[in-house]
Amino acid sequence: MKTHSSGITRREAIASSLGLFGGTAWAGAPQGQSIESKGRFDTIYHFAADAMPSTHPLLIRRKHASLMQLVGMAGQTMYHLNYSGYNKYHGRATSRTPTTSHMIYPSPRDTKEDTFFPKVYGTETLGGNHGTGSVYWVPCANRRFFHDYFIFGAHDKLGLHPKGGVIEGFDAALYGCCADGGRYNAGTIFRIDTSGQASVMHDFVFSSGGLPTQAPTAGSDGHYYGATEGGGISGRGALYRLEADGAYEFLHSFDSEAEGWSPHGALVQSADGLLYGLCSAGGAAGLGTIFSLVHAGRFRHLFSFSGADGATPMGSLLALADGTLYGTCSAGGAFNQGVAFKFKPGHHRKIVVLHDFANNAEEGGRPMAALTLGSTGYLFSTTMLGGQSGGGTMFRLAP
């Protein structure tokens, strides 16, 4: 049985003062939006105190082996958890301080041997020689050695402080975003080719989007799509499209409180061809929203979180093959410690709460990351707080 303490930790007090977790009292769902609670949940790993993982784990499947590996960042360490089919997990740490990592598998940069030990690529916001960030890679065969792939300069025109990892583009180059710097000091979209040469694809201007926190998403139409946390007409965020030649199109400005604002996480493309995303604020209750975007640029508000069904989503959505969307909220739910949910776009727009986090010794609380689909069919992710040491947990959840 879940237990919950009404006391607030110092870590939560700091986060609350930064406006991360919203309110504390929740009303029922708005009229026309239904909530039901179900799901199977297990805590599979307890992180050390102060680890506070805030990014989702990456799934690695090796050929000719049943072993599933989950790799990610927690505090200043890189963890590596093995799942052999017997529910056995273990960790292995490496000292580093990146904000997030993104796996590329397979990749043209990988050798024949790397087919069995693929590389993990990531961004480090404050790393490099000048403290302005870097793009790095790690061979998963030896997680104790990080290699800088590109280092941003002290006054780099390519941008400063990359966030949100990198993606492999249609041309096999790496694409990512810097949160600030660039020509207008509003951030950039950068490209690093297979030889390691970097260039700017776009310099953000606040009036059409600024302060990006995630790498763009490669759409099925051959273009890149993304969201910025700031900028736009009202300064509350924007959506954009980037063509392969660098042409930038401003698609939407988050100006209405009702539709949500401050989009967090990357856009994800679902089986219906639409792109979906999350806003961490705004909506009918001011607690965040789910939205969709078609390639032509048409925006649609789909759902407003009420608190009982979650609040303040900070990660990205996960789209499965049947079109169902899965995600987490960092607050709200039965204990105001966050929820895991699924959402089926359509006429009814029904949200299902899969788990209410309690933030105690048995399980974590305050999930800040997206969910990852494992090879066993379970969903995996992390919580920033809770667990036996209070430093967060990794959990698995049945869809």
Q: What is the pLDDT of residue 383?
A: 92
> Do residues 107 and 128 touch, judged by C-beta distance below 8 A?
no
- Chain CA centroid to CA 389, Å: 24
Alpha-carbon distances, residue 19 vs 53, 153, 206, 297 (angstroms): 19, 32, 23, 30
Side chain identity at residue 125, one-letter code = T
The pLDDT assigned to 335 comes to 97
- Quick one: pLDDT at residue 272? 93
Answer yes or no: is pLDDT of 339 > 90. yes
Listed in sequence order, the residues at least 6 apart from 31 whose beta carbon sits closer than 8 Å to its beta carbon are none
pLDDT tens string 181-226: 999 999 999 999 988 899 999 999 999 999 999 999 999 999 999 9
Among left, alpha and beta (phi > 0; psi -120 to 50; other), residue 294 is beta
Tokens representing 247?
């042409």
Arithmetic mean of pLDDT, 341-347: 89
| Residue 12 confidence (pLDDT) above 60 | no
The pLDDT of residue 129 is 80
Would you say the C-alpha torsion 24, 27, 32, 33 has a positive or negative sign?
positive
Contact in structure between 149 and 127 (CB atoms under 8 Å): no
pLDDT mean over 351-371: 94
Which residues have C-beta within 8 Å of that of residue 29, sequence separation ≥ 6?
35, 306, 308, 309
Buried b (16+ CB within 10 A) or exposed e, 37-46: eebebebbbb
pLDDT digits (tens, 9 = 90+) for 137-166: 776 555 455 677 888 887 778 999 998 888
Q: What pLDDT is stored for residue 96 in this prediction?
A: 43
pTM of structure: 0.83
* DSSP reduced 3-state for 72: strand
User: Which residue shows structure tokens 């967060």?
Assistant: 392
Q: Which of 34-43, 87-96, 235-244 has the highest mean pLDDT?
A: 235-244
**Residue 81 CA, distance from chain mean position:** 19
pLDDT of residue 85: 39
SS percent in the chain: helix, strand, coil, step 5:
5, 40, 55
DSSP string, 272-336: TS-EEEEEEEBSTTSB-EEEEE-TT--EEEEEE--BTTBB---S--EE-TTS-EEEEESB-TTTT
Q: Which long-range contacts (CB under 8 A, 24 or more apart) does 273-278 make?
A: 273/220, 274/345, 275/217, 275/219, 275/225, 276/302, 276/317, 276/319, 276/325, 276/345, 277/227, 277/239, 277/316, 277/317, 278/313, 278/315, 278/316, 278/317, 278/327
Q: Which helix (H) or strand (E) holds 325?
A: strand 325-329
Which residues on adjacent β-strands are paired with residue 45? 394
**Among candidate residues 124, 177, 112, the one with its CA nearest the CA of residue 148:** 124
- The per-residue DSSP string of 45-59 comes to EEPPTT----SPPEE
Q: Tell me how far apart the alpha carbons of residues 264 and 376 are, in angstroms, rounded to a whole number.
A: 28
Distance CA 397, CA 383 (A): 13
Task: Report pLDDT digits (tens) over 290-337.
Answer: 999 998 889 999 999 999 999 999 999 999 999 999 999 999 999 999
Question: Domain limits of the chain?
Answer: 1-53+261-399, 55-203
DSSP β-bridge partners for residue 168: 174
Chain centre distance of CA 300: 21
Query: Per the omega criterion (within 30 degrees of 0), is the bond before 367 cis?
Result: no
Please state the φ and ψ torsions of residue 159, each to the nearest 5 degrees.
120, 175
Taking alpha carbons only, the member of 204, 205, 228, 206 closest to residue 215 is 228
CA 127, 119, 140: angle at the middle one, nearest 5? Answer: 95
Strands 275-281 and 289-293: antiparallel
Q: Which residues pair with 78 in a beta bridge?
A: 73
What gap in Å lies between CA 385 and CA 368, rounded to an integer?
10
End-to-end Cα spacing for the chain:
21
